[in-house]
């Protein structure tokens, strides 16, 4: 009889609200202290694939840990020197990787603005979904991503449903992710179901 697939770990924030239990931990140096007071009030959803349109492999980890080989792909020569990170990544299989403690400032949003307030990295949590603008995201990314957002909202009750945004919402004209292939209404409905379920 074939072995059953391993159950996905339950994703919860630890008591410090810094770490997601059940997530892979890969420490990124690309973070710093948030300004005081460090009031987290926004969640930003991104899309990422390296190389663009390709999935799997070590390249996202390498980008966020400053170890991406610029010679491994022509596109990498353009980005290998960037110093960027995100708090969390949900890959195409629903596996969650955490790069930065939630209390610290990850470098994910760049030049950005939300409701007249700039520098969104200061007060946001960044979640990357492995994907690109024109490819459908996977069902498990909707369910896992929504569960993560709901858990974050429980930890920071000031984050309301209107405080979950796409990267393109806070950097219009500069960023397009997670793109038109990401079903935003489906995701928002899934977040609401996780919060009230």
The 10 Å Cβ neighbour count of residue 128 is: 28
Q: Whole-angstrom Cα distance, residue 101 to residue 70? A: 27
**Radius of gyration from C-alpha coordinates of the chain:** 16
Per DSSP, helices labelled H in 67-171 are 76-79, 139-155, 167-170
**Catalytic residue ranges:** 128
Q: Strand 88-90 to strand 117-118: parallel, antiparallel, or no bridges (unpaired)?
A: unpaired
The 10 Å Cβ neighbour count of residue 6 is: 6
Please state the φ and ψ torsions of residue 166, each to the nearest 5 degrees: -90, 155
User: Do residues 98 and 20 lie in contact, with contact meaning Cβ atoms separated by under 8 Å?
Assistant: yes
């Amino acid at each position: 009889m074939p072995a059953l697939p391993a159950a996905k770990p339950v994703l919860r924030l630890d008591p410090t609200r810094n770490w997601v239990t059940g997530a892979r931990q890969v420490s990124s140096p690309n973070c710093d202290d948030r300004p005081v007071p460090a009031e987290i009030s926004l969640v930003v959803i991104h899309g990422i694939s390296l190389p663009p349109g390709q999935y799997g492999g070590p390249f996202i980890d390498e980008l966020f840990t400053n170890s991406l080989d610029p010679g491994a792909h022509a596109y990498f020569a353009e980005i290998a020197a960037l110093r960027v990170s995100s708090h969390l990544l949900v890959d195409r299989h629903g596996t969650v990787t955490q790069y930065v403690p939630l209390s610290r400032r990850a470098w994910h949003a760049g030049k950005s603005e939300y409701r007249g307030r700039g520098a969104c990295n200061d007060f946001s949590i960044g979640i990357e979904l492995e994907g690109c603008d024109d490819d459908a995201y996977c069902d498990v990314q909707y369910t896992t991503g929504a569960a993560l957002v709901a858990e974050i909202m429980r930890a920071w009750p000031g984050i309301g449903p209107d405080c979950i945004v796409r990267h393109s919402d806070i950097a219009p004209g500069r960023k397009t992710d997670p793109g038109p292939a990401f079903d935003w209404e489906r995701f928002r409905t899934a977040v609401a179901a996780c919060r009230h379920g």
